[in-house]
């Protein structure tokens, strides 16, 4: 007998996650995580032991929790469902209750991690019972945030506005508890108010196209996240013209108008017009820069920046895979080695620029250790050479 | 001989889709590759392009097999697929540049040819746009422009008229005839038999992965003992006959 639809879809999703987790949490990454996690905890505990209670720690703890208390709702519906499932809407209670449970626990790891870090911060200057209240409120906010985000899909409300309101309410609720525990009532009132507003705005029947679009966008976001660590074949690439980059996309001079440079011509455009890639790299650069400014420790900064380069090099390799499997390189009278050589040339240039930028930030923060910055371009070059070869190897295996 | 296929057997996996196919194309010929859906036309084309490896037999373009000199083999071919395949990140002009660079054309020659073609297909104002946002017919025109700037010895065109407007069809026919006059050859897979009858010099008719018959229209008529028959009639008689034989044997 065929498995019920909810069972097969949840199993498929778990299978996909298990498949990609294998690549994300590879041995290199686990070693890095262990070292970075250890150094982070060590420096955080050291810093906290010397600190007096202050409002900034409370703000950081409340802010951290308000960002991580945003569980995603996954309906696991597919595009074709809009044709077949609406007539069975009233018989789909079981399906949706399974999806509720699955989605609820899917994002739980993030608030748990956030809560551990927040509690470490709150140990400075807060009694145990306030911390218990903070945990209790966080759990309550997570449950409400889940119900609100789930139900908001079936309303005309804009997704970003709902997220913004939730972050604001989370922050006010958690921070006010730390100021005065009696303010817990304010938090309950705010989150309850938003919940009732969303209930009031709900459509009578399910808005199937919107729920399906929401699921497609959640799926795409998951693949975007995974693509930061490994190649994702299911991710559909999108491109857009950024006029401010057009100056970098000039017609090649006559000496470079040939097969030796054609793929670099293509990679440059693929990179600068990719819908996500330049912005992901920019975001990564900003996040890692903020982290090293925050930790303000040379050794930890070096580890963080080496990891930043590792993630960025992995990001870059999707450029090569996006081109290597297309039809035209197999039809054009140009040897496949030209794609590989062009990719190496182009990615080395990009990685070198990023590594130099990171080196400048590092030198600015730790001028005494300026000579250590030389490691970034070298590490970027070594990583890029290693991973490019891996991409070719995979491509050769697939084409055999 | 521009294209010579001898005893080609092949397909996507170990199970053969096409069996023992042989035919050739001379310089300055338009040859129609004709068959029902699933007859093996696209598989044959993919073998010619070198996208599939033959299980048996061989293919030569200008006397060269793909394994002997891949670049020389491919330089003699330009392919126009049934459904346009475009780079989402490239504008129309950039598609032309990429094709020119791939086939070793210098910029001036490529654009001299491209400008004429862009005008012919009424796309001269669209050069800076992304073809992925074009209609199906316009995308097909981009494919045609990219193939025709190359001026190769052999064009391989899969369903050339699909999605084109009447003016586009007229321009394409005009181009094909002019290329033939310049000594270039075309292998065209099509279901539009009336047009094929008017412009093709010879026909290769496939059914169920096998070559049923090949030759000029007169040779087909004589071979099938149907004097004065149109290509449509010959084709229906052939494929209908093949189906009846099959059911008789099974």
Contact between A334 and B70 using a beta-carbon 8 Å cutoff: no
Using CA coordinates, name the residue in chain B closest to A328: B85
Q: Is the pLDDT assigned to residue A96 strictly greater than 70?
A: yes
Using alpha carbons, select from B177, B182, B114 the residue that is nearest to residue B148.
B114
For the stretch A7-45, pLDDT in tens is: 999 999 999 999 888 877 876 677 777 877 787 788 788
pLDDT digit string (tens) for B116-128? 999 999 999 999 9
Q: Which residues contact B233 (CB under 8 A, 6 or more apart)?
A: B226
Say what the pLDDT of residue B77 is. Answer: 95
Find chain A residues with C-beta within 8 A of B49's C-beta: 330-331
Dist CA A214 CA A220 (whole Å): 10
> Would B112 be classed as within a structural domain?
no
Flag whether residue B51 sits within 8 Å of chain A, measured between CB atoms. yes
ipTM of the complex in this document = 0.89
Better-predicted residue by pLDDT, A283 or B148 = B148
A1 pLDDT above the threshold of 60 = no
Does residue B212 belong to any structural domain of this protein? yes
Which among B74, B87, B100 has the least Cβ separation from residue A333? B74
Q: Judge whether residue A266 has pLDDT over 80.
A: yes
Q: Is B125 in CB contact (< 8 Å) with chain A? A: no
Q: What is the mean pLDDT of chain B?
A: 91
A239 touches chain B (CB under 8 A): yes
* Mean pLDDT of the residues in chain A: 88
Where does chain B have alpha helices with state H? 41-49, 70-75, 92-102, 107-120, 136-148, 166-181, 193-199, 217-224, 231-249
Q: Is A264 on the interface with B (CB under 8 A)?
A: no
Q: Tell me whether residues B81 and A262 touch, CB distance under 8 A.
A: no
Kindly report which listed range (A248-262, B103-117, B229-243) carries the lowest average pLDDT score: B229-243
The CA radius of gyration of chain A, in Å to the nearest whole number, is: 24
Cα–Cα distance for residue pair A272/A249, rounded to 1 Å: 9
Identify the band that residue B192 occupies on the pLDDT scale cut at 50, 70 and 90.
confident
By Cβ distance, the residue of B71, B88, B98 closest to A237 is B88
Instruction: Report pLDDT for A246.
Output: 86
Q: For the packed helices A298-324 and A259-273, what is the interaxial angle rounded to 10 degrees?
A: 120
Q: Which residues of B touch A257 (CB under 8 A)?
A: 97, 100-101, 106-107
For residue B122, count other CB atoms closer than 10 A to its CB: 14
Q: Which pLDDT score, from 0 to 100, does residue B137 have?
A: 92
Q: Dihedrals φ, ψ of B132, to 5°?
A: -65, -15
pLDDT of residue A374 exceeding 90, the answer is yes
Which strands make up the sheet holding B154-158, listed edge to edge?
B56-61, B3-10, B18-25, B210-215, B202-207, B30-34, B185-189, B154-158, B77-80
The pLDDT of residue A395: 63
DSSP secondary structure letters along A224-246: HHHTTTS--SSPPP-B---GGGG
Whether pLDDT at A359 is above 90? yes
In sequence order, what are the beta bridge partners of B213? B205
**Mutation target among B101, B127, B153, B154 for the A interface, most CBs of A within 10 A:** B101
List of chain B residues whose C-beta atoms are within 8 Å of the C-beta of residue A265: 94, 97-98, 101
Angle made by CA atoms A214, A277, A272, in degrees to the nearest 5: 125
CATH classification of the domain holding B223:
3.40.50.300
Residue B46 lies in a domain: yes
Flag whether B147 is in a domain: no
Number of domain units in chain B: 1
Residues of chain B with C-beta less than 8 angstroms from the C-beta of A318: none
CB contact under 8 A, A333 and B81: no
Check whether A394 has a pLDDT greater than 90: no
Is A331 in contact with B77 (Cβ distance < 8 A)? yes
Q: Which residues pair with B25 in a beta bridge?
A: B3
What residues contact B241, with CB distance under 8 A and at least 6 apart? none
Assess if residue B58 is contained within a domain.
yes
Confidence of residue B247 (pLDDT cuts 50, 70, 90): very low
Mean pLDDT across B182-194:
92
Are B110 and B100 contacting, i.e. CB atoms less than 8 angstroms apart? yes
User: Is residue A181's pLDDT more than 80?
Assistant: yes
Spatial CB neighbours of A274, under 8 Å, sequence gap ≥ 6: A237, A238, A239, A319, B89
pLDDT at B180: 95
Say if CB B221 and CB B73 are below 8 A apart.
Answer: no
Is the separation of the CB atoms in A121 and A48 below 8 Å? Answer: yes
Cβ-Cβ contacts under 8 Å between A and B: the total is: 73
Q: Is residue B8 within 8 Å of residue B137, measured between CB atoms?
A: no
Best residue of A319, A331, A335, A399 to probe chain B, by most B CBs closer than 10 Å: A331
Give me the pLDDT at residue B241, please.
54
**Is the confidence at residue B19, as pLDDT, over 70?**
yes
B101 contact A CB<8A: yes
Is residue B88 situated within a structural domain? no
Residues of A in contact with B85 (CB under 8 A): 326-328
- Rounded-to-integer distance, Cα A313 and Cα A354, Å: 10
Mean pLDDT for the stretch of residues B219-232 = 91
Check CB contact under 8 Å for B130 and A239.
yes
The DSSP H or E segment spanning B21 is strand B18-25
Residue A343 has pLDDT above 70, yes or no: yes
So what's the pLDDT on residue B3? 96
Can you read off the two tokens belonging to residue A210? Answer: 């919107």
B120 domain residue, yes or no: no
Instruction: Give, in degrees to the nearest 5, the angle at Cα A350 between A371 and A307.
Output: 55
**In b/e form, how buried is each residue of A53-78, taking b as 16+ CB within 10 angstroms?**
eeeebbeebbbbbbbbbbbbbbbbbe
A273 contacts on B by Cβ (under 8 Å): 89
| Domain with B12 in it | 1-76+154-162+184-250
Q: Hey, of B69, B73, B89, B149, which one would you mutate to test binding to chain A, going by the most A CBs within 10 A of its CB?
A: B89
B49 touches chain A (CB under 8 A): yes
The pLDDT of residue A113 is 92
Is B211 a domain residue? yes
Q: What is the arithmetic mean of pLDDT over B69-84? A: 94
Structure tokens at A124: 């400075």
């Amino acid at each position: 007998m065929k498995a019920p639809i909810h069972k097969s879809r949840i199993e498929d999703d778990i299978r996909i996650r298990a498949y990609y987790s294998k690549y994300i949490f590879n041995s290199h990454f686990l070693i890095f995580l262990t070292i970075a996690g250890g150094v982070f905890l060590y420096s955080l505990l050291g810093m906290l032991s010397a600190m007096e209670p202050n409002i900034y720690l409370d703000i950081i703890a409340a802010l951290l929790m308000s960002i991580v208390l945003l569980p995603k709702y996954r309906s696991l519906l597919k595009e074709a469902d809009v044709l077949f499932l609406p007539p069975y809407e009233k018989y789909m209670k079981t399906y949706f209750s399974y999806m509720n449970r699955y989605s609820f626990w899917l994002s739980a790891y993030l608030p748990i991690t956030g809560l551990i870090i927040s509690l470490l911060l709150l140990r400075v200057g807060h009694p145990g019972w306030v911390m218990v209240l903070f945990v209790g409120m966080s759990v309550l906010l997570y449950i409400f945030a889940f119900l609100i985000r789930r139900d908001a899909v079936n309303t005309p409300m804009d997704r970003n506005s709902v997220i913004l309101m939730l972050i604001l309410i989370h922050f006010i609720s958690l921070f006010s508890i730390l100021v005065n525990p009696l303010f817990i009532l304010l938090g309950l009132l705010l989150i309850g108010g938003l919940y009732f507003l969303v209930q009031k705005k709900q459509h009578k029947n399910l808005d199937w196209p919107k729920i399906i679009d929401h699921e497609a966008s959640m799926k795409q976001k998951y693949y975007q996240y995974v693509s930061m660590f490994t190649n994702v074949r299911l991710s559909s690439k999108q491109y857009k013209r950024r006029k401010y980059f057009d100056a970098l996309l000039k017609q090649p001079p006559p000496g470079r108008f040939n097969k030796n440079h054609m793929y670099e011509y293509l990679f440059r455009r693929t990179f600068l017009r990719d819908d996500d890639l330049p912005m992901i790299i920019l975001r990564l650069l900003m996040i890692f820069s903020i982290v090293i400014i925050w930790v303000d420790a040379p050794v930890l900064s070096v580890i963080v920046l080496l990891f930043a380069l590792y993630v960025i090099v992995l990001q870059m390799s999707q450029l090569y895979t996006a081109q290597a499997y297309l039809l035209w390189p197999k039809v054009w009278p140009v040897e496949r080695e030209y794609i590989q050589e062009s990719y190496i040339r182009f990615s080395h240039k990009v990685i070198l620029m990023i590594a130099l930028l990171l080196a400048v930030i590092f030198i600015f923060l730790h001028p005494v250790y300026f000579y250590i910055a030389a490691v970034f371009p070298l590490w970027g070059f070594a990583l890029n050479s290693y991973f490019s070869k891996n991409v070719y190897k995979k491509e050769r295996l697939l084409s055999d | 001989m521009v294209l010579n296929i001898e005893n080609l057997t092949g397909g996507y996996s170990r199970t053969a889709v096409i069996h023992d196919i042989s035919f050739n194309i001379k310089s300055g010929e338009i040859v129609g590759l004709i068959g029902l859906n699933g007859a093996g036309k696209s598989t044959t084309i993919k073998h010619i392009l070198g996208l599939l490896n033959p299980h048996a037999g061989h293919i030569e373009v200008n006397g060269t097999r793909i394994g002997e000199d891949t670049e020389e083999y491919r330089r003699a071919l330009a392919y126009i697929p049934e459904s346009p395949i475009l780079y989402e990140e490239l504008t129309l002009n950039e598609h032309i540049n990429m094709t020119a660079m791939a086939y070793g054309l210098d910029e001036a020659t490529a654009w001299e040819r491209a400008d004429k073609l862009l005008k012919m297909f009424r796309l001269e104002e669209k050069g800076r746009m992304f073809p992925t946002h074009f209609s199906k017919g316009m995308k097909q025109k981009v494919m045609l422009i990219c193939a025709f700037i190359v001026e190769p010895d052999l064009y391989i065109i899969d369903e050339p008229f699909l999605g084109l407007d009447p003016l586009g069809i007229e321009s394409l026919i005009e181009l094909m005839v002019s290329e033939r006059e310049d000594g270039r050859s075309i292998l065209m897979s099509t279901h539009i038999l009336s047009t094929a009858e008017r412009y093709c010099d010879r026909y290769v008719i496939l059914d169920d992965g096998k070559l049923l018959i090949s030759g000029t229209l007169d040779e087909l008529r004589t071979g099938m003992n149907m004097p004065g028959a149109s290509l449509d009639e010959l084709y229906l008689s052939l494929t209908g006959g093949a189906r009846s034989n099959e059911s008789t044997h099974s």
